[in-house]
Amino acid sequence: MDPETPIDAIIHLAFAFDLGYEIDLERARPLLSGEAGGLTRRRRTPESIRYRPAPLRLALDASGVALPAPARSIEPPRADLSLFDFGAISLVFRFPVSMTPDELLALAGELAEPTELTASARLVLAPWLDRIRPVVTEFEVSDLSEEYVIFQLGEATPGWLDARREWLAGLVRLETGPMSPQEIQEATRRSLSYAPSDAIVIDWAAAVVADRDCDDTIQVLEFANVQLLEYRHIDDRLDDRIERAYATIHPDRPRVRLRLPMVWSPTHNDAVRQVRELEIEATSLFERADNALKLIGDQYLVRVYDLASARFHLPEWQNSIRRKLETVGNVYDLLLSQAGHRRAEFLELIIILLIAMEIVLAFFR
């Protein structure tokens, strides 16, 4: 690889955001003039791999977003917005560039801090979010976001990965400094090739795709990034609600206080209702995010997704959510048990009062 020879590449910057519980894609379509965007297909992509339902896609003006200097797009950048029914959106910018290997590596280092680009992406989205607000259930733009960089290069050649391993490790780690042999090996460990002319290397910060026709691969990586955001969002909401539920179960009370049993407590009843609603909402959201693109089998795209899933630690996030959903179920059972005990105590108090009244009346007779 000649360090002075420019490489034609496309830089894909993927941003994922959460808007709420659900997006009504049918009602959103006329508001945005978008179309259902199925998975881009090649002959090797089986019909069984598809979105359920297909996200709504539309092209946006990307003129207000630029790569960090001195990188410059050789063509006007493009942006595509995808809306998923489970309340998440993905915005992907595509910048065609012609840069030397060293310049690409320097750009990767600049992209390691995505704060400014994320803010620019939110500005691009702002007018479109106002349009779709009426069709989003529980509309609330989360502060969480996920960013992912994909370097799309030309076709690979036999031995391409081994000959460029150190440089590729720097790209996928967004690291310009030298790395140890062990770190280089780890950064490039999850790689895959379908033909001698293509290759993909996936890491947690970025991926390198050497292929001319790879729209389906890019979409799978984009979807994995959206899933990561959604799992983080669900996990955070579960944490917040579980803490509130625990505060209801064990409220801070003064040490010396006469506590009368109550059959009805607004705070307690609200907590029971909120915990039950949370359990249903989180389970539904989790299942829809998990099943939106079902990838099972040994096909190439499935293996690409498995590599991304492992790098993004999606199985660990899934297990964390399942554990917390079980905890929410246990909290709900405990709150119901507390309510039952309160009713029992209240009935016992009524019986004691009735007996006391009978005794008092007997003296008067």
The predicted pLDDT at position 260 comes to: 44
Q: In this predicted structure, what is the pLDDT of residue 90?
A: 94
Sorting pLDDT into bands at 50, 70 and 90, what band is 121? very high
Residue 269's pLDDT is: 58
CB 25 within 8 A of CB 80: no
Report the C-alpha gap between 34 and 41 in whole angstroms.
20
Of 213, 217, 220, the C-alpha closest to 197 is 213
For position 270, what pLDDT does the model report? 59
Nearest CA to 279 out of 227, 336, 229 is that of 336
pLDDT by residue (tens digit) across 169-190?
999 999 999 999 999 999 999 8
Helix (H, G, I), strand (E, B) or coil at 87: coil
Most confidently modeled range among 43-52, 60-69, 325-334: 60-69
| 83 pLDDT tier (thresholds 50, 70, 90) | very high
Please tell me the distance from the alpha carbon of residue 277 to that of residue 284, in angstroms, as a whole number. 11
Q: Which among 304, 310, 265, 309 has a CA at the least distance from the CA of 289?
A: 309
- What confidence tens digit (pLDDT) does each residue in 291-314 have? 677 666 658 888 898 999 999 998
Is a pLDDT exceeding 80 seen at residue 50? no
Note the pLDDT of residue 135: 93
**pLDDT reported for residue 274:** 61
Q: Are 53 and 25 in contact (CB under 8 A)?
A: yes
Bridging pattern class, strands 145-153 and 206-210: parallel
Highest mean pLDDT among 29-33, 242-246, 326-330: 29-33
The least confident of 63-67, 86-90, 220-224 is 63-67
- pLDDT value for 35: 80
Among 69-83, 93-107, 263-277, 317-331, the range scoring the smallest mean pLDDT is 263-277
